[in-house]
Amino acid sequence: MQKKIIIAIIINVIILSAGLGIIGHLTINQSIDRSLHSRLTLAGIIANNIDLLLERSLNRLYDISLSGKIDLKDNNWKPEKEALQIAYQYSIFTDGIFLMDRTGNIVLTYPSRLENHENLLSNPYVSKIIMEGKPVISDIHTVEPTGKKVIYAMVPLKSKHGDIVGVVGGEIDPTSFRLSQSIEGMPREPNTYLEIIDSHGIIIVSNNPKRVFLSSDHNRFMENLIAQKKPEIRTCHRCHSGAGGKGDERSTDILAFAPLKMAHWGVSIIQPEKDVFAPSEKLRTTFIAFSLGSICIALIIAIGMSKSIVKPVHKLIDATNKIADGDMSKSIAFGGIDEIGILSSSFEVMRVKLADSLEGLRHYNVQLEERVVERTKQIKASQKKVENLLKMVISAEEEERKRIARGLHDETMQSLSALLMKIDMCSKMYAEHLPSEKIDEMRNIALKTLDEIHSLIQNLRPTVVDDLGLEAGIRWLLDKHLAEKGIACDFNVMGAEEKRFNHRIETALFRIIQEAVINISKHASAENVFIVLQYMSDSIAVHMEDDGKGFDAADVLKHTDDVRGLGIMGMRERAYLVDGKLKICSTPGNGTRLSLWIPLPEYGNKHV
């Protein structure tokens, strides 16, 4: 019980701690989800600000194209210079604005520079805008041979008739304050990278100046996200140099990404996963420490409580074990006024009453045993009387069969024989006066009656058993009752040579087999019957089986008023009187099997 109390208290504490832990875990997860969503929202806000900035700058370029002052063929560049100057003052094109004809030659720049006559047709973005006529903002482009990094923003230059005659473009310096200020004012955390990345994964702007113009740690992954124009937050991995420059270390980061609409760029916020999950890990550690402390305190309380409860319970258990062993002499001590004390008092009352009850039971058992012995003697005497009476009945039945058979043979058959002789004499002496047909009819009736009486005598007491033995008697039964009806019989004898047994055993065997054969003949509708007579050193067995229609053996034995039920009951009684065992197995449609076993007394092996 002490262990159970301790375990129960600890389990309750664990369940409570687990419940609090689950609630805390869900709360932490929700907090992490909100934190991740806030990072994605921040990336989207930055992307929208940059989109707005780029859109305004493209609109400045469109103002030049739509001003109506641009004519690349009149050799008057003053209107074009004024338009470029106005657009330059209100845009992010820190490296200047230029006009370019359809062949890719820059014809005018503002501010003016010496390399106005360079050709940009080899730039894929220039080719794209001339071919498609759509505005474009390029990725970071390296100007050769200076190696300068620029970004081109270009719109098609159209004539008064709407035909594309060139390109109006602006050059953005990625390191200029105009772009970097879009992320400078945003909130950020330690070890967090806020970056703008082009479609090739090159970092355009970063809150870490050392990372500008470098390839992103996830450049291919970024390229796919930019191409899909899909905001997303994911877990990714980053490799960086280990301590002392030895090898590379792999860390897990949380990446929040938002694409731009005006350019094939994206805004990414990258922060180490351990920094994002640091609050939850701290809370988890605190909770584990709290849980372990609670379990220890609960264990101490449980041990103290269990001792105060278990000790008196153990005393009560010892007392009840003595009662269970039959020792009612020791009284149970009073345990106090609490529940265990009340239970002790109840057990003491029970002990006293149980002792009185046991004494009464002992006295009653003695009387009952005496009555059982006396009643058993009476039952055995009654069984002996019934057995003797049954033997007398069967013996009387056999004697009556003999007497009736003898009377029929000595008197009735003699009278019928005399009647036949008289009929024969009359047929000779009064042949002229009596019709021969009538005489023959009377003679046939007398002969038939004589045969029936002879058959009746054989059934009452077949002389073949007395004269030739059991095997001959069985063969006579099979020929008389089965073979004459066309039922095939297979009779086999196993064991030693034929023996003669005690008259009582032979009679019981013959009568049981006779009843079974007559039942097969009358009720079974069988085509084949198999009988095995088996001699053993100390017993004899008979096995009979037919392929008839069978019957419900249990149901037949319940209805002893039926002829078949009385016959089976008589077979069992005859087997019982010679200490034999009779077993009948049958179900409707599956034929019947009979097994009979009878032990042989000492004189059973002697010829009688």
Write out the DSSP string of 295-352.
HHHHHHHHHHHHHHHHHHHHHHHHHHHHHHTT---SPPPP--SSHHHHHHHHHHHHHH
Average pLDDT over residues 322-344: 68
Taking Cα atoms as reference points, which of 288, 260, 270 lies closest to residue 234? 270
Could you read off the pLDDT of 90-109 as tens digits, one per residue? 788 888 898 888 888 888 88
Whether 246 shows a pLDDT value over 60: the answer reads: no
Q: At what angle do helices 177-184 and 2-66 cross, to 10 degrees?
A: 150
pLDDT digits (tens, 9 = 90+) for 10-20: 777 778 777 77
Q: Print burial letters for 227-244: b (CB count within 10 Å at least 16), e (below 16).
A: eeeebebeebebeeeeee
Q: Could you tell me if 515 and 571 are in contact, meaning their C-beta atoms sit under 8 angstroms apart?
A: yes
CA distance 487 to 526: 7
CA 581/CA 541 separation, integer angstroms: 9
pLDDT exceeds 80 at position 2: no
Q: Residue 102's pLDDT is what?
A: 84
CA distance 171 to 92: 8
For the chain, the average pLDDT equals 78
pLDDT of residue 498: 63
Name the helix (H) or strand (E) containing 193: strand 193-197
Give the mean model confidence (pLDDT) for residues 172-198: 78
Q: Which residues contact 67 (CB under 8 A, 6 or more apart)?
A: 79, 83
Rounded distance between C-alpha atoms, residue 76 and residue 344, angstroms: 122
Q: Structural domain boundaries of the chain?
A: 334-461, 465-605
CA distance 265 to 201: 9
Q: 336 versus 123: which is more confidently predicted?
A: 123
Q: How many CB atoms lie within 10 A of CB 394?
A: 18
* 94 vs 80: CA distance, rounded Å: 18
Q: What are the distances in angstroms from CA 211 to CA 182, 190, 201, 250, 381?
A: 17, 16, 12, 18, 118
Give percent above pLDDT 90 in the chain: 5
pLDDT tens-place string over residues 370-405: 888 888 888 887 777 776 676 666 666 666 766 776
**Is residue 76's pLDDT more than 70?**
yes
**How many C-beta atoms lie closer than 10 Å to residue 273's C-beta?**
15
Count CB-CB contacts under 10 A for residue 274.
13
Q: Are 276 and 255 in contact (CB under 8 A)?
A: no
- Give pLDDT tens digits for 53-70: 888 888 888 888 777 777
What is the pTM for the complete model shown? Answer: 0.47
CB atoms within 10 A of CB 375: 10
Cα angle, residue 201 at apex, residues 195 and 203 outer, rounded to 5°: 35
**Whole-angstrom Cα distance, residue 602 to residue 198?**
118
Q: Which fold has domain 465-605?
A: Heat Shock Protein 90 (3.30.565)
The CA distances from residue 72 to 59, 98, 104, 106, 170, in Å, are 21, 12, 13, 11, 18
DSSP, residue by residue, 447-505: HHHHHHHHHHHHHHS-HHHHHH-HHHHHHHHHHHHTGGGT-EEEEEEESSS-----HHH
Tell me which H or E stretch contains 96: none
> Does the pLDDT value for residue 529 go beyond 90?
yes
> Quick one: pLDDT at residue 27?
77
Is residue 123 very low, low, confident or very high in pLDDT (cuts 50, 70, 90)?
Answer: confident
Distances in whole angstroms, Cα of residue 230 to Cα of each of 40, 226, 469: 11, 7, 110
Q: Which residues of 324-337 are buried (b: 16+ CB within 10 A; e: fewer)?
A: eeeeeeeebeebee
CA distance 576 to 456: 27
The sign of the dihedral angle between the CA atoms of 154, 160, 161, 166 is negative
- Contact by Cβ (8 Å): 514, 553: no
492 within 8 A of 475, measured Cβ to Cβ: no
Q: Which of 238, 248, 298 has its CA nearest to residue 17?
A: 298
Model confidence over 151-171: pLDDT tens digits? 989 999 887 777 788 889 998
Which residues are CB-contacts of 169 (< 8 A; sequence separation ≥ 6)?
A: 61, 97, 98, 100, 152, 153, 154, 155
Q: How far apart are CA 253 and CA 276, in angstroms?
A: 9
Question: Which among 117, 67, 115 has a CA at the least distance from the CA of 87?
Answer: 67
Percent of the chain with pLDDT over 70: 81
In the predicted model, is pLDDT for residue 489 greater than 80? yes
Q: For residue 531, what are the β-bridge partners?
A: 491, 544
pLDDT category at 597 given cuts 50, 70, 90 is very high
Write down the pLDDT at residue 290. Answer: 78
Tokens, residue 434: 């009596």
What's the token pair of residue 414? Answer: 């003699």
User: Of 213, 215, 234, which is closest to residue 223 (Cα–Cα)?
Assistant: 215
Rg over CA atoms, the chain? 61
Q: What per-residue confidence (pLDDT) applies to 299?
A: 74
The pLDDT value recorded for residue 385 is: 73
pLDDT of residue 515: 87
pLDDT band of residue 530 (cuts 50, 70, 90) is very high
Q: Coil, helix or strand for 141? A: strand
212 against 318, higher pLDDT: 212
The C-alpha atoms of residue 360 and residue 563 are separated, in whole angstroms, by 53
Mean pLDDT of 42-48: 88
Instruction: Report the C-alpha gap between 413 and 456 in whole angstroms.
Output: 11
